[in-house]
Amino acid sequence: MKKEETYCEDELFEDIEPLKVEVVRELFQVIKLEGQMNFKILTEKGLYPAQAVCLWYISKNEGINQKTLAEQIVVAAPTVSMIIKKLERNGFIERKPSTEDMRTLQLFLTEKGKNIIGSLRISFSKIMNIALDGFNENELKIFKELLKKLDFNISNYLQEGEVNK
């Protein structure tokens, strides 16, 4: 019987607990698969994931300006600018001058944009149901707590700014 090969047998990971290597490998695999699933479902609607995120955020914050949108979704302003132009060209959003500052453009969904939001709700629901199929309520609570702990660890590391911790 052949021993199951793991990434842990690589010299690169020899000083790391094997279970940690396997957990991180699984996490990266899940992130990759989730991205592929999002891409597949959203491109069927003629959208890319970043466009869907912008539309969703605009729907929850009608009248938001482009700069604030970029800050809130943590995407570079030039990238958001390209996304907004495509969404506007495709008729999902419109930009209107702010009544308070004519130099600022506010973002609003068009009717087409509002219709796609309903469709996105269904798609996001589908993605969550597929990803979490087979988990009971207790497992979901535990999983959520574990993810929060992972988030906390990484956030602390990033805030401290230590590279070789």
For the packed helices 111-131 and 18-43, what is the interaxial angle rounded to 10 degrees? Answer: 150
pTM of this prediction exceeds 0.75: no
pLDDT at 97 over 50: yes
Q: What torsion, rounded to 10 degrees, do the Cα atoms 126, 131, 133, 137 define?
A: -100
Check residue 64 and give its pLDDT. 95
% of the chain exceeding 70 in pLDDT: 90
**Exposed e or buried b per residue across 61-82, where buried means at least 16 C-beta atoms within 10 angstroms of its C-beta:** eeebbbebbbeeeebeeeebee
Check residue 108 and give its pLDDT. 97
Cβ atoms of 47 and 93 within 8 Å: the answer is no
Check residue 141 and give its pLDDT. 98
What pLDDT, in 10s, does the model give residues 125-156?
Answer: 988 999 999 999 999 999 999 999 999 999 99
Taking the C-alpha atoms of residue 65 and residue 161, their distance in angstroms, rounded to an integer, is: 30
Dump strand ranges (E) for the chain: 93-97, 105-109
**Sign of the CA dihedral running 85, 87, 89, 94:** negative
Cβ atoms of 54 and 73 within 8 Å: the answer is yes
Q: How confident is the model at residue 31 (pLDDT cuts 50, 70, 90)?
A: very high
